[in-house]
Amino acid sequence: MFETFSWWLLLELIGLAAFPIAFRFFRNLPDRGYAFAKPLGLLLIAYPYWLLGTLGFLMNTRATALVVALAIAITSWFVFGRKQKVNTAARLVESELQIASDLAPTAITLETNAKPSRKKRVTRATIRKKRAEQSAAPELLEPTITHYVLRNTSSPIEWLRKNKSLVLATELVFTVAFFAWAFFRAYNPEITATEKPMEFAFLNGILQSDRFPPLDPWLSGFAISYYYFGYVIVALLTMLIGVAASIAFNLAIALLFALSAVGAFGLAYNLIQISEFRLRNENSRNLQSAIRNSQFANFFFPLFAPIFLVVMGNLEGFFETLHARGILPASFWNWLDVKNLASASVSNSFVPSDYWWWWRASRVIHDVVNGQTNEVIDEFPQFSFLLGDMHPHVLALPFVLLALAAALNLLRQKDFPN
pLDDT at residue 119 is higher than 50: no
Domain that holds residue 177: 2-82+155-312+388-411
32 with 172, same domain: the answer is yes
pLDDT at residue 284 is higher than 80: no
Domain count, the chain: 3
- Model confidence band, residue 24 (pLDDT cutoffs 50, 70, 90): very high
Report yes or no on 416 lying in a domain.
no
Report yes or no on 72 lying in a domain.
yes
Mean pLDDT along residues 382-391:
94
Report yes or no on 418 lying in a domain.
no
392 with 255, same domain: the answer is yes
Residue 395: which of 235, 268, 214 has the closest Cα? Answer: 235
Residue 252: which of 163, 189, 326 has the closest Cα? Answer: 189
Question: Helices (H) and strands (E) in the chain — how many of each?
Answer: 18, 4
- Model confidence band, residue 245 (pLDDT cutoffs 50, 70, 90): very high
Residue 129: which of 91, 159, 100 has the closest Cα? Answer: 100
pLDDT at residue 116 is higher than 80: no
pLDDT tens digits along 314-369? 999 899 999 998 888 999 999 988 888 888 888 888 888 888 888 888 888 888 78
Average the pLDDT over each of 234-243, 272-281, 372-381 and give the range with the smallest value: 272-281
Q: Give 379's contacts (C-beta < 8 A, 6+ positions apart).
A: 362
- Alpha carbon distance 292, 163 (integer Å): 16
The reported pLDDT for the residue numbered 19 is 95
Cis amide bond preceding 156, omega within 30:
no
294 with 323, same domain: the answer is no
337 with 218, same domain: the answer is no
274 with 370, same domain: the answer is no
Report yes or no on 417 lying in a domain.
no
- DSSP-derived letter for residue 356 is T
- Alpha carbon distance 119, 85 (integer Å): 17
114 with 53, same domain: the answer is no
Mean pLDDT along residues 181-197:
93
